Chain A
Amino acid sequence: MSSALNLSHEPVTRVRHGKFAMWAFLASELMFFAGFFGTFIVLRNTNYAAFGEGSAQLSWPLALVNTFILIGSSLTMAMCIYHLERGNNKLFRLFMGLTIMGGFGFLIVKYLEYSSKWEHGLFPGQEHHTLFFSFYFLMTGFHALHVVGGMIPMAYMFFRSYTKRGYKHPGKVETLGLYWHFVDLMWIFIFPALYLMIPYAVAGAGAHH
């Protein structure tokens, strides 16, 4: 009987529910990282020298590679939405595959970085750990979790595209795409904040570690 009723009509704002909700969720995510960045700024200002030293120990070339990977995967994600909307299952699959590979690539580089940090004793609990590295693992860790979180539905869509009917929900891909661009976007801030903005050593604020 409810099928005869017209209660569940077109979205009033003309933005699909899923997409709308994703935007609202991204607003939430922005505040989540805002909490990290807010504290980061304060503690960077009060631990100037230590943050300088820590930052200098990171490998910016690896992070640069990762930046390119993420930008690239953002592009392929945009492409794969474009093609699915036009019903091109093959190209959709191709670009989705590329995006997933981008995600993997990112995680592999991250793994390399982390393992070198482990060897240098920079993990929490190890001897050379400092507050800077707490932030490093906090922010990159949550970012990496977001990457993993995005890759799971991507893998699902990717494998569904191999079934006979193909994957038929451009809306869902678009929603996921928003999320994936957001992950990229956060990295665009994390990269300079952690790797590049090495505080100048200021005289008098000697390092305490």
Chain B
Amino acid sequence: MSTATLPSTETEAHTHEHHHELPWYRKYVFSTDHKVISKQFMLSSLFFLFIGGAFALFIRWQLAYPGTKIPLVGSILPATWVTEPGSGIITPEFYAQLLTMHGSIMIFFVVIPLALGMFGNFCIPLMIGTDDMALPRLNMWSFWLVPPAGLIMMAGFFTETGYATAGWTSYPPLSASIQLPTFTISGQTLWLISVFLVGFSSIMGSVNYVTTVLNKRAKGMKLFDMPLTVWALFITAIMAVLGTPVLAAGLAMLFMDNFLHTSFFLPDNLVTNSKYFGGGQPVLFQHVFWFYSHPAVYIMILPLMGIVSDVLATFSRKPVYGYKAMVFAIAGIAFLGFIVWGHHMFQSGMNPLLGTTFMLSTIVIAVPSSIKVFNWLGTLWRGNIKFTSAMLNALAFVSMFIIGGLSGVFMASAPVDIYIHDTYFIVAHIHYVLFGGSLFGIFAGIYYWYPKMFGKMLNEAWGRKHFYWTFVTFNLTFFPMHILGVGGHMRRIYDPNVYDFLKGLGGINEFITIAAITLGFSQLFLISNILWSMKFGKKAPRNPWHANTLEWAAPEHPGHGNFDMDITVYRGPYEFSVPGRELDYWPQWEQGEAISAHHNTVAVPIENETRTFGAH
């Protein structure tokens, strides 16, 4: 048993902490320890999840019961948000602000920071067996840009125009606010600054991840010995490094259009009374925006694909099926992700010829995605499956991603997209991939690594409750949205009852809202579980899931420096249930016969493999 051979770490961890004697603010606030930074990302994002979620519930109330008073909080809403003070009925303008803030917060302050910031920070150094990131100080800054950015975005509330209103996609000319005088600080300019800052944060983080993965792997760890989580984070980081700056360029230009009334995205002959110069192209912004934001949707899901692969392997006690194919599929998705951005613009007025090319490349993305799905199924095949909370969430990821991905194929077909573009079909897709995919993946990761993060076990019974409630109400909330979409219900509309052809859909809207409220409150299980277990949870053993990857070689609650022993990697990350061994797992760090990760049959000795990439 591997853990038996390890030194007891209790005392050592203590001497270690005394040794450094960092002041408290260096330990918990401006810490350079990747684990602390990871927790900071986690807490700030969960906080934003609640804000974004609360906004969503406002949206839902309005759609189900247009023009009625919002219960509970209606009477205390600020006067600018409601039709008249105390009425509790939100205005159309505020509705637009709500959906903009909901989308922006969920994407820029919840999923990206969780997927890339939290898991990137936590998993990479531990899973490659090193003490910290390559550049810890840079890492600290990559977190500390996020809270100010969040505050800046929320500060839109104090401007005259309120929050940004142009949707999370913020297409000009609507987002160029030319009717405002120059040098106005509006919700939109703050939005632009804020997103610029989080973008910079993810660039800094990603630069660090790329360097760390390539430079700091433990002795003996080839690239193809890395767990899929690390692979996925690594490739995602590359995408972020290359994609984010393009968005930043677009934001800079849009900022100038807002603040100085330049006209990068404003054409001649806009019939307005204000002064601007013309000559620009509105559709150009969409190109620049989606050049980043399509890759960004993969930034939001690839890390979770890696995590889910690890969780599935661990709890079905089986190697990941087709490890190498999985790596190539991730790389393939990442590459293709950069050449499909136009599928958001089929109806935007770009050249239809481009529509053809983007449609074909988009449909091709379904191929690496299917490879991943089938390999996950293959991983379960002949396993010995334990339904822990982490596993349940991982399975939900797989199944919900299938649904969300399939609805993606509808939209990828440009002629079909003519009708469903900008309807609730898209909203259903968004939430199936982002909530059903990313967020379930994030939950899986949290349940899986919580013991290593906090040294305590989460309460399993509550975890399951959280899962079942979430899974059921999630589907009740978002599946009917497909139907709304097929019925022609446009997205981003304040009151569907204006249209005769939408009159029959009110019942569905109501149903969705009730489910959504339940869904929102189901999240309280998660939050209370996290907070309660930090203090009162059972103490976690070193390797609670009997997993193979290196983070489980670290002490129960690793301190600065992570490991209490030298790490050498002897085999791939997924040697579960090796025949002839008593234990059904075989950690990467445990000495013994070496096995590589990616051969196709049972146990081939390492001598037959040529070590290529960066071996020591």
Contact = CB atoms under 8 A, between A and B. Distances in A.
Interface of A: 1-2, 5-9, 11-13, 15, 17-18, 20-21, 24-25, 27-29, 31-36, 38-39, 42-43, 46-47, 50, 124-125, 129-131, 134-135, 138, 142, 208-209
Interface in B248-263: 248-250, 252-253, 256, 260-263
B284 interface: yes
Nearest to A39: B284
Contacts of A1: 12, 15-16, 19, 561, 564
A129 B250 contact: no
8 contacts: A5-B131, A7-B562, A8-B130, A43-B281, A131-B278, A134-B263, A135-B264, A209-B277
A43 B284 contact: yes
A89 B264 CA distance: 48
Chief secondary structure at chain A's binding surface: helix
Nearest to B241: A28
Nearest to B285: A39
Contacts of A138: 252-253, 256, 262, 264
A33 B250 CA distance: 10
Contact of B207 (A12, A24, A31, A32): A24
A43 B264 contact: yes
Given A6-B566, A24-B207, A42-B281, A13 B242 contact: no
Contacts of A130: 277, 279
Interface stretch (B216-224, B304-312, B356-364, B432-440): B216-224
Contacts of B252: 138, 142
A25 B134 CA distance: 14
A113 B277 CA distance: 22
B178 to A, nearest CB: 12
Range for the number of chain B residues in contact with chain A: 35 or more
Contacts of A27: 241-242
A12 B616 contact: yes
A29 B245 contact: yes
B215 A11 contact: yes
Nearest to B13: A1
Contacts of B261: 124-125
A5 B207 contact: no
B278 A208 contact: yes
Contacts of A17: 134-135, 211, 215-216
Given A7-B131, A11-B134, A208-B279, 20 more contacts: A2-B562, A5-B565, A5-B566, A7-B129, A8-B130, A8-B131, A9-B219, A11-B215, A17-B134, A17-B215, A24-B207, A25-B203, A25-B207, A28-B245, A32-B246, A39-B250, A124-B262, A131-B263, A134-B262, A138-B264
Nearest to B244: A28
A1 B284 CA distance: 56
B561 A32 contact: no
B280 interface: yes
B279 A131 contact: yes
Nearest to B181: A125
A97 B261 CA distance: 40
- Per CB-CB distance, the 3 closest pairs between chain A and chain B, nearest first, are A35-B249, A2-B561, A32-B245
Interface in B234-293: 241-250, 252-253, 256, 260-264, 268, 277-281, 284, 287-288, 291
B245 A21 contact: no
A125 B178 CA distance: 12
Interface in B555-594: 560-567
A12 B217 contact: yes
Contacts of B264: 39, 43, 131, 134-135, 138
B243 A31 contact: yes
B135 A21 contact: yes
B245 A131 contact: no
B269 to A, nearest CB: 10
B138 interface: yes
Contacts of B248: 32, 35
A7 B211 contact: no
A164 to B, nearest CB: 26
B202 to A, nearest CB: 10
Contact of A31 (B12, B211, B245, B281): B245
B614 interface: yes
A100 B114 CA distance: 41
B373 interface: no
B279 A47 contact: yes
A99 B264 CA distance: 35
A39 B132 CA distance: 40
